[in-house]
Amino acid sequence: MRIFRWRAIGPLLVFTLLAGVLWVLLADRIARRAAEEIGTAIVGAKVEIQKLHIDLTNGDVTVRGLTVASPHEALKNLFQADELTADIDVLPLLEKKVVIDRLAANGLRFGTPRLTDGRTAGRPDGVTARVLAETRRWSEQFQVPAIQLATGKIDVGTLDPRRLSAIPAAEALSARADSSRRAWQTGLDSLRLAATIDSATATLTRLRGARATDLAALSDARRAIDHLKQARGRVTALERGVTGGLAALRAGVAGLDSAKQRDYAFARGLLKLPTLDAPEIGLALFAPSAVAQFQRALYWTQLARAHMPPGLLPRAEQGPPRARRSGSTVRFPREHALPGFLLRTAELSFQLDPTAPRPKRYAGRLTGLTSDPALYGRPTLFEASAPAVTAGAMLDHVHATARDTAGATVQGVRLPVIQLPSLPMALDPGQGTAQLGFALRGDTIRARWAIRSTHVQWSRDSAVQRSTGADLLWRTLSGISDLQVDAGVTGTLSQPRLSVRSNLDAAIAARLRTMLGEEAAAAERRLRAEVDRQVDPAIAPVRARVTALQSEITGRLAQQRARLDQAQKDLESRLRELTRIRLP
């Protein structure tokens, strides 16, 4: 039995030839569909190509009518390109690697409108869907305050007496006053002044009947004076303690006043006032627009990190879409080998405002876009400069910690209309200057978005019911023709900090204060009265008790001291009389 079926060689050759002819006929279509599928999976939005032609003999690939939908806006394209011409290396294709030496992109137009929603978010378990979900979660962690303009009502919360600090402070001071009073009473009792004064009085009585030669009486008198002096010393010591104690109690009374002030502040906190601080108003007005810009920048950066990871370790990515399970496709980059994808240089010719009557053309250059930055060894760079445009980006994934930076300043470009949340109006900045700076080092983010315009036009939302507040604000804002917005994000991706300020903040804050000032003051007066009603019954008795205690204890001390002084004075006077030398 023969092993080979020789007569089948002919049909096999015919089959192979047929496959070759089919390839020639269908290669462009197959490549176009593959490019559309891969592009759509990477971007997370539809990628459509009108025509793609592969010329392997010359290593040329030409793409005409490229449309990439925006993954963030339903009816908008990320960009469109009239024609892309790529010079590719043919030999790396045998290693399933795409190396493009030079790409010329002509007629790039950004932000063009489209008729259908081009967002796809990629495959549910794919990288793009994950990055999109992550960046969406990231943007949702910013707390954006709302301006409560429609009602202008001020809500007053419930004042819970348990949360007032003056009442427990008064109770504590009352206890301290009682304790001090008992201590001072004990101190006065322990002085035994009555016995000392009585003894001195008795000595004085004996001394009045004594003669100058009655040495024993004189000696008793001097001893009694000494006792009186000692008793006065004890009184002085007690008096010093009482003075300190009374000072502490008076400080406690003053502390009650402070506690009451704190309670006023606490009660003010219960007033649910609309946002009146300028920085908060900046956040309320422009945070959604700013966060959307940062979210997009983060999306593209994270997408770049996912598709251009650092390092040379084998890494898995989602397998190709097919009827069978996709599995994972593992890449095995090797040092000094070619990357899976490399675009060495791209020359870009683009328009930023294609809807303008006379759109301006700009030129840019992209170098080193690769799937394996560690193999390429250099960061991906983009730069574009023109009289009114400066843009640059660097994706440095060569080392373990990825560093991505991008910055752009565009002058004289039409800025998009900004809907102001919480306010029934929108502003059209018209032509102006837009700036975006974005830096992501590891997971540390630092980003800035700014817009400037001097021809702002305001439009009012007629669908929203009119209110006095909105009318006043409309009159204020519609007279402002300048716009300056500065927004920034700092911190880490898990704990970002957002700040937004604009030239409208102060104007809106002042207007809101005027509008709501009277009502806020009345509500605050009501709350202060409520604090007084709850706190004063606790404070007043304590204050009176401390005052009474002060009067009582100082009076008693003064009285005792006066008696001691009088007894000593009488004894000393009599003693001087007896010991005076009388000349014959």
Partner 1 sequence: MLTLVKLLQSLVKALHSEGTPGQLAAGIALGSILGLTPLLSLHNAIVFALIVLLNVSFPGAMLGWALFVPIGFLLDPLFDSIGHTLLFTPSVTPFFTSLYNMPVVPLTNFNNTVTLGSLVFSVVFFLPLFFATRWGVTRYRATIGERVRQSKWYRAVTASKLYNIYRLFRPEP
With respect to partner 1, which residue has the nearer C-beta, 312 or 388? Answer: 312
Residue 23 binds to partner 1 (criterion: CB under 8 A):
no
Burial of 394 (0-12, 13-18, 19+ CB in 10 A): middle
Asked if 125 touches partner 1 (CB under 8 A), the answer is: no
For partner 1, the closer CB: 315 or 446 = 315
Helix (H, G, I), strand (E, B) or coil at 87: strand
Pick the closer one to partner 1 by CB: 98 or 445: 98
Q: Is 363 in the site for partner 1 (CB under 8 A)?
A: no
Q: Which stretch binds partner 1 (CB under 8 A): 160-168, 229-237, 242-250, 319-327?
A: 319-327
Pick from 137, 162, 211, 322: which binds partner 1 (CB under 8 A)? 322
DSSP 8-state symbol, 128:
H
Residues 6 or more apart whose CB falls under 8 angstroms from that of 94 comprise none
Q: Which is nearer to partner 1, 1 or 216 (CB)?
A: 1
Shortest CA distance to 331 belongs to which of 339, 343, 321, 342?
339
Q: How far is the CB of 457 from partner 1 (least distance, A)?
A: 56
- Minimum CB separation from partner 1 for residue 93, in Å? 9
Any alpha helices (H) in 402-462, and if so which ranges?
none
Q: Please tell me whether residue 319 binds partner 1 under the rule CB under 8 A.
A: yes
For every residue of 463-501, DSSP letters joined together read TSPP-HHHHHHHHHHTT---EEEEEEEEEESSSEEEEEE
* Residue 327 contacts partner 1 per CB under 8 A: yes
Verify binding: residue 37, partner 1, rule CB under 8 A: no
Residue 483 Cβ vs partner 1, minimum distance, rounded to whole Å: 53
Using rule CB under 8 A, residue 324 touches partner 1: yes
Residue 80 · residue 154 · CB < 8 Å: no
Q: Is 168 in the site for partner 1 (CB under 8 A)?
A: no
- Which residue's entry shows tokens 């809106």? 508
Cβ proximity to partner 1, 162 vs 322, nearer residue: 322
Q: Is 320 in the site for partner 1 (CB under 8 A)?
A: yes
**Residue 27 CB-half CA count within 13 A:** 11
In the bound state with partner 1, the residue whose beta carbon lies nearer, of 236 and 329, is 329
State yes or no: residue 1 binds partner 1 (CB under 8 A). Answer: yes
CB of 92 to partner 1, least distance (A): 9
Stretch that binds partner 1, among 149-157, 260-268, 313-321, 534-542 (CB under 8 A): 313-321
Chain positions 58 to 117 lying near partner 1, rule: CB under 8 A, are: 91, 94-97
Please pick, from the candidates 330, 356, 363, 464, the single residue that binds partner 1 as defined by CB under 8 A. Answer: 330
Measured distance CA(454)–CA(417) in Å, rounded: 14
Of 18, 28, 101, 26, whose CA–CA distance to 62 is shortest? 28
Residue 27 binds to partner 1 (criterion: CB under 8 A):
no
Q: Nearer to partner 1 by C-beta: 93 or 215? A: 93
Distance separating alpha carbons of residues 164 and 147, to the nearest angstrom: 29
Report strand pairing: 341-351 vs 98-110.
Answer: parallel
User: Is residue 140 packed enough to be buried (19+ CB in 10 Å), middle (13-18) or exposed (0-12)?
Assistant: exposed
Residue 303 · residue 42 · CB < 8 Å: yes
Q: Is 321 one of the binding residues for partner 1 (CB under 8 A)?
A: no
Of 123, 130, 250, 331, the one binding partner 1 (CB under 8 A) is: 331
For residue 358, state whether it binds partner 1 (rule: CB under 8 A).
no
Least distance in Å: CB of 3 to partner 1? 6
> Can you tell me which of 162, 334, 358, 582 binds partner 1, judged by CB under 8 A?
334
Is residue 382 within 8 Å of residue 391, measured between CB atoms? yes
Q: Is residue 377 involved in binding partner 1 (CB under 8 A)?
A: no
Question: How near is the Cβ of 24 to partner 1 at its closest, in Å?
Answer: 17
Give CA–CA dist 401/398, Å, rounded: 8
List of residues 6+ apart from 583 with CB closer than 8 A: none
Q: Is 242 helix (H, G, I), strand (E, B) or coil?
A: helix
Which CB atom, from 31 or from 159, has the smaller least distance to partner 1?
31
Q: How far is the CB of 49 from partner 1 (least distance, A)?
A: 21
Of 219, 258, 329, 579, which one interacts with partner 1 (CB under 8 A)?
329
Which residue, 516, 308, 482, 495, is CA-closest to 394?
308
- Residue 326 as a binder of partner 1 (CB under 8 A): the answer is yes
Is 8 among the residues that bind partner 1 (CB under 8 A)? yes
DSSP assignments along 272-316, one per residue: EPPP-SHHHHHHHHHHHHHHHHHHHHHHHHHHHHHHS-SSSS-EE
Among 185, 261, 328, 457, binds partner 1 (CB under 8 A): 328
Burial of residue 564 (number of CB atoms within 10 Å: 0-12, 13-18, 19+): buried
Quote the DSSP letter at residue 461. Answer: -
Per CB under 8 A, the segment of 46-54, 105-113, 311-319, 348-356 that binds partner 1 is 311-319
User: Smallest gap, in angstroms, from Cβ of residue 330 to partner 1?
Assistant: 5
Query: Can you read off the two tokens belonging to residue 95?
Result: 């290693």
Q: At closest approach, how far in Å is the CB of 289 from partner 1? A: 43
**How many residues sit in the footprint of partner 1 (CB under 8 A)?**
33
> Which residues form the interface with partner 1 (CB under 8 A)?
1-5, 8-9, 11-12, 15, 91, 94-97, 314, 316, 319-320, 322, 324-334, 337-338
